[in-house]
Structure 1
Amino acid sequence: MIINAISSGATSVRLQIGAPGVDLSIGTLHDALQEMIRSAEREIGSDSASWSREEKQRVVRMLDERGAFLLRGAVDDIAEVMGVSRITIYNYLNAIEASAE
């Protein structure tokens, strides 16, 4: 659904993020990405500044499963929040893809 919205030029979407039945109205796609990151912080139980490498990899997997990387600029935004380079995010994504094979 989000893929169709993005490819159709949507500038805002309505997503269900987090626990079933929790519906958040998101204004922009950037806001949607920020909410996905906040949701990941809640699931991990700590803020992004204190995440270990394993937790960062877990969050990248969660965000990938939720379609976060379909959003333009997501890699840069997520890398900034995590305090890593965009290359590190791509390495995490490559490791996820390799483990799925």
Structure 2
Amino acid sequence: MSRPAESPGPGADFIAAVRPLVDAIGGELVPPERAGEDDVLLSWAGAPVTAVRLPLVSASLDHMLGDLERRHGRPLAELDRATKQQVVRGLEARGAFAMRHGVETVAGALGVSRFTVYNYLNRSTNC
């Protein structure tokens, strides 16, 4: 697990405070400029100071789907096709389809067939 240097500054105390929690869940602190779209950006006093990269194995598929619904502000089945394809790519990157019944669960949440999810997965590997 990489540990960004805690330089003196407004965010150093905040980073020191959240580090035990991040370590306990098996996450990783990354500099804000290296944060990916699935990382959780943490701000202090209005400025981003670090990001948390969550572990793949500790999140359940239901938790991931709930988080995506919260991020999109509506049920996943209501998303347009292009956004559903992005959701599938993101879930694939997080290991969702390595879980038992992953494709079936995601298909149900997206309101599509398993065949459609497989098509989205194939499309992401052929692009």
TM-score, length basis structure 1: 0.67
> Aligned partner of 1:32: which letter?
S
User: 2:26 & 2:99 partners in 1: Cα distance?
Assistant: 14
Unmatched 5+ residue regions in structure 1?
1-13
Q: 2:120 aligns with which of 92, 96, 101?
A: 92
Deviations 1:76-96 (A, max 9, x none): 011011111000000000000
Q: Contact 1:44 / 1:55 at 8 angstroms: preserved in 2?
A: no
Deviations 1:17-64 (A, max 9, x none): 7514487xx9xx8x7001111122233333213111111101001101
Q: Which has the higher helix share?
A: 1
Percent of counterpart pairs with the same letter? 37
- 1:38-77 → structure 2 map (5 Å cutoff): 38-77=66-105
> Aligned partner of 1:72: which letter?
R
Q: Which has the higher contact order (CA 8 A, sep 6+)?
A: 1
Q: How many residues align?
A: 82
Q: Which has the higher strand share?
A: 2
User: 2:39 & 2:67 partners in 1: Cα distance?
Assistant: 6
User: 2:117 & 2:26 partners in 1: Cα distance?
Assistant: 24
Alignment-derived partner of residue 64 in structure 2 = 36
Which of 1 and 2 has greater Rg? 2
- Poorly superposed stretches of 4+, deviation over 6 Å: none
Unmatched 5+ residue regions in structure 2?
1-24, 28-37, 41-50
User: 1:94 & 1:35 partners in 2: Cα distance?
Assistant: 24
* Partner SS for 1:84: coil
Superposed CA RMSD in Å reads 2.7
